[in-house]
């Protein structure tokens, strides 16, 4: 029996609103999407992801998965892809949720 590669999403951390925009707690590191960058996400621009010192560590964008509609916030940080659903993102910024789950995309694992 052959094993086919599958894509897997694993829990990587949490995202919260913060004074620095949105914070992404991933393992023992915290990254930020600044407030001025968040607005650009919703007008089809990429956003910078910064570390505590304000240096760029990655980039984020809204991306579709299986449809043309943008359904996920995708972040590329140090060659790793992290995903947050737009539904959770809207719940976070509307105040319905305090924190949301960030998942890491892992491609090509054998099933």
Reported for 73-81, long-range contacts at CB under 8 A and 24+ positions apart, including other chains, are 73/41, 75/24, 75/31, 75/33, 75/49, 75/102, 77/24, 77/26, 77/31, 77/49, 80/104, 81/105
pTM of the model: 0.83
User: What are the structural domain ranges in the chain?
Assistant: 5-110
pLDDT at 97 over 60: yes
Residue-level pLDDT at 109: 56
Q: pLDDT tens, 21-68? A: 999 999 999 999 999 998 888 777 899 999 999 999 999 998 875 556
Q: What is the pLDDT of residue 107?
A: 78
Q: What is the pLDDT of residue 41?
A: 81
């Amino acid at each position: 029996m052959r094993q086919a590669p599958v894509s897997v999403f694993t829990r990587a951390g949490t995202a919260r609103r913060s004074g620095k925009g949105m914070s992404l707690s991933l393992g023992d590191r915290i990254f930020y999407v600044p407030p001025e960058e968040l607005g650009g996400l919703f007008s089809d621009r990429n956003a910078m992801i910064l570390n505590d010192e304000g240096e760029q560590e990655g980039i984020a964008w809204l991306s579709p998965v299986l449809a043309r509609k943008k359904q996920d916030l995708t972040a590329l940080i140090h060659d790793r892809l992290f995903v947050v659903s737009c539904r959770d993102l809207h719940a976070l910024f509307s105040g319905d949720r305090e924190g949301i789950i960030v998942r890491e995309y892992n491609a090509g694992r054998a099933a």
